[in-house]
Amino acid sequence: MGQEVEIILLKQLASCLRIPIALLDPDGAVTYFNEPAEGIFGLRFEETGGLPADEWIGMLQPSDQDHVPLKREERPLATALDRRVPGHRRLKARTGGQSWQELEVTGLPLTAEGDRFLGAMSLFWRPQERIERPADEPTPSQQAVETILTRRIAATWSAPVFLVDAFGRLLYFNRAAEPILGDRFLELSRPLSREMLYEAFEPRDADGNRLEPRDHPLGIARSTRQPAHRVIWIRGLDGHDRRIAATAIPLVGQSDCLVGVLGVFWESDG
Amino acid sequence: MKITFWGTRGSLATPGRDTIRYGGNTSCVEIQGDDGATLVLDAGTGIRPLGESIQRGIARLDILLTHLHMDHIQGLGFFDPLFWPELDVHLWGPSSTTQGLHARLTRYLSPPLFPVRLADLPCSLTLHDVVAEPKFRIGRFEIEAGLVCHPGPTVGYRIHGDGGVVTYIPDHEPFLGEDELDLDSPWIPGLSLARDADLLIHDAQFSDEEYPLYVGWGHSSIEHTLAFARAAGVRHLAPFHHDPSHTDLILDRLYEDAQSAGELPFELTPATEGSCYEVSGREGRASVKLLPGKRP
């Protein structure tokens, strides 16, 4: 049976990015991981042909800070697979099959249009002190292949998704994001700069305090080139306030340049 | 500049009576500049006869690899000039997110896949990563590499020489995941490489009927190739990387159908092994001439 085009696009995008990424099917088996993730699994993907859930969990042994194995409901990927909402957690794992490492793990459910559940995407990164990096070159007239693939994936995804460029300018948001943002992407009268984006959506922290751009997940991902996750409030373009869980994924591609940031949002009840 | 097709087949070398006109050797194109500089684009099986045609005495040769799939590097170990101690060879190609070009190439050019190691080649060999260094000069050629849509790190090359621009994108699926062909230029991968090229050599592996079975394989249908060329505003298109199952008769029919489907804003000549083009004139007004005869 042929693969879903959404999975094809995700594999191609993952192969272009420097973040360790794994794709899981609805049963939790790893069906693909990219080159940077080889350091997590201790294997090349081509050597495995896929990893059943029991096998990769046995390899990585995801545990809490005291090395107590996490129960299923505590694991972020299980959250993504079982509850179909993002899961995020800092944990310890035996990476490379050997040493214990502290990792931040985000699990994003993959639900395509038509409510087709395709599994989950896992992002791994090593927590480190936030290091600000200088801005990269201005985006050229040709979008990078990583950004192009991301936009095509976003168009098929049922989760609300933003795509901004390396300078924070809004490039695209998908149909699922329209109810949150309160407008259609095609109806925007002009491109939104980073400053306009923040003025328009008035992002605030969980206590309602204004969030500076550098503290917003998109801003953190842009400046540190690490994924970022946070619950925030925004005001949609329709004037309504919404509480959302936001995960931002920096698109650092093969050229080691930041070409954009993918923002994935869910309305958060509490 | 003079462009010679030494291998036009994709995926698998396909020698035989049924493929004798379009050719059975896999991807290899030679570009010769007016100053004598020679570029070799990809090292499929077609690089072997190219190697036999090169006269000893040249000082330098540049091989530009688009990616490291077998059909684009298989001929490398059989390219005679690599065994000339006096020759300065520069090999250009893409690194991956975790491995440099050298490490990636040695996976093939080493036992058990190949008895000769890269380090054992007698020529003076210098490797260049075109992801880190996408713009460079070779002689009077100005070259730009750009990542395109194909599984694994894959680039296309835009070659600006005396007389015009040639763009080489042999493996490319520019409309992957797109239900409608939106020709909005910033969102088509590889388009800036091909913009206004005098000659575009581009992947056209599948017929329009075949393509739905091969979505995600990294190759174009003929319809997509024509759309890409139209969006780029090229002057001459040479569809390339013919599928192993496409005999000469099948390719004749496919391109007759493509020509008769409607007027094209560019010349269309499917790449055939042994054919030569001359691109001459000046930028924006170059002429692209198919030279008579074929190289043996």
Cβ-defined contact of B147 to A5 (cutoff 8 Å): no
Q: Is A93 inside a domain boundary? A: yes
What kind and span of H or E run contains B277? Answer: strand B276-280
Nearest-by-Cβ selection for B186 from A12, A143, A156: A143
Read off the pLDDT of each residue in A191-213 and give the average, rounded to a whole number.
80
b/e per residue, B190-216, with b = 16+ CB within 10 A?
bbbbbbebbbbbbbbbbbeeebeeebb
Chain A / chain B CB contacts < 8 angstroms: 82
- What rounded mean pLDDT belongs to chain A? 86
- Cβ under 8 Å to A: B residues 199-218: 213, 215-216
Same domain, A113 and A195: no
Same domain, A149 and A88: no
Number of domains in chain A: 2
Partnered with residue B136 across adjacent β-strands are: B143
ipTM value: 0.90
Q: Is A133 inside a domain boundary? A: no
Mutate to test the interface with A, among B97, B148, B155, B214 (most CBs of A within 10 A): B97
Same domain, A107 and A32: yes
Give the pair of three-digit tokens for residue B3.
């462009």
> What would the pLDDT profile of A225-252 be if each residue is shown by its tens digit?
888 888 889 888 778 888 888 899 999 8
pLDDT band at B283 (very low <50, low <70, confident <90, very high): low
Same domain, A65 and A157: no
Same domain, A113 and A157: no
Cβ-defined contact of B147 to A253 (cutoff 8 Å): yes
Same domain, A155 and A263: yes
pLDDT band at B108 (very low <50, low <70, confident <90, very high): confident
Amino acid identity, residue B222? I
Domain B2-291 belongs to what architecture? 4-Layer Sandwich (3.60)
Contact (CB, 8 A) for A202 and A195: no
- Phi/psi of residue B93, nearest 5 degrees: -175, 175
Q: What per-residue confidence (pLDDT) applies to A182?
A: 67
> What would the pLDDT profile of A116-172 be if each residue is shown by its tens digit?
999 999 999 887 655 555 555 544 567 889 999 999 999 989 888 989 988 888 888
Q: Is A130 inside a domain boundary? A: no
Residue B96: pLDDT over 90:
yes
Same domain, A19 and A62: yes
pLDDT band at A180 (very low <50, low <70, confident <90, very high): confident
Q: What per-residue confidence (pLDDT) applies to A1?
A: 44
Cβ-defined contact of B147 to A255 (cutoff 8 Å): yes
Q: Is A214 inside a domain boundary? A: yes
Same domain, A74 and A25: yes
For residue B112, whether the previous peptide bond is cis, meaning omega lies within 30 degrees of 0, is yes
| Nearest-Cα residue of chain B relative to residue A153 | B177
Q: Is A138 inside a domain boundary? A: no
Give the pair of three-digit tokens for residue B23.
């050719």
B107 vs A: CB within 8 A:
no
| Nearest-Cα residue of chain A relative to residue B215 | A5
Q: Is A89 inside a domain boundary? A: yes
Give the pair of three-digit tokens for residue B215.
């979505």
CATH number at residue A197: 3.30.450.20
Residue B281: pLDDT over 80:
no
Same domain, A160 and A111: no
CA distance B176 to chain A (A): 8
Write down the pTM of the prediction: 0.93
Q: Whole domain around residue A182: which residue ranges?
A: 145-267
Where are the alpha helices (H) located in chain A, listed in sequence order? Answer: 5-16, 38-41, 53-60, 76-82, 145-156, 178-181, 194-201, 217-224
DSSP assignment string, A234-251: EE-TTS-EEEEEEEEEEE
> Which residue among A93, A125, A157 closes a domain?
A125
Same domain, A181 and A225: yes
| % of residues, chain A, pLDDT over 70 | 89
Three-state SS for A170-213 is: EEEECHHHHHHHCCCHHHCCCCCCHHHHHHHHCCECCCCCECCH
Cβ-defined contact of B97 to A17 (cutoff 8 Å): yes
Nearest-by-Cβ selection for A5 from B99, B177, B187: B177
CA distance A101 to chain B (A): 20
What kind and span of H or E run contains A228? Answer: strand A228-235
Measured between beta carbons, which residues in chain A are less than 8 angstroms from residue B134? 255
CA–CA distance, A265 with A159 (Å, rounded to integer): 7
Q: Please give the DSSP secondary-structure letter assigned to residue A147.
A: H
Nearest-by-Cβ selection for B187 from A5, A11, A148: A148
CA–CA distance, A216 with A198 (Å, rounded to integer): 10
Measured between beta carbons, which residues in chain A are less than 8 angstroms from residue B178? 152
Burial of A114 (0-12, 13-18, 19+ CB in 10 A): exposed
**Domain residue ranges of chain B, discontinuous segments joined by +:** 2-291
DSSP assignment string, B56-80: BTB-EEEEE-S---HHHHTTGGG-G
Q: Is A137 inside a domain boundary? A: no
Contact (CB, 8 A) for B106 and B74: no
- What rounded mean pLDDT belongs to chain B? 93
Give pairs for B51-60: CB < 8 Å, separation 24+: B51/B78, B51/B79, B51/B80, B51/B81, B52/B80, B53/B295, B54/B80, B54/B81, B56/B84, B58/B87, B59/B86, B59/B87, B59/B88, B60/B87, B60/B88, B60/B89, B60/B90
> Which residue among A125, A159, A193 closes a domain?
A125
Cβ-defined contact of A152 to B177 (cutoff 8 Å): yes
Nearest-by-Cβ selection for A254 from B131, B178, B185: B131
Cβ-defined contact of A143 to B177 (cutoff 8 Å): no
Q: What per-residue confidence (pLDDT) applies to B25?
A: 98
> What would the pLDDT profile of B193-234 be if each residue is shown by its tens digit?
999 999 999 999 999 999 999 999 999 999 999 999 999 999
Q: Is A180 inside a domain boundary? A: yes
Amino acid identity, residue B232? A
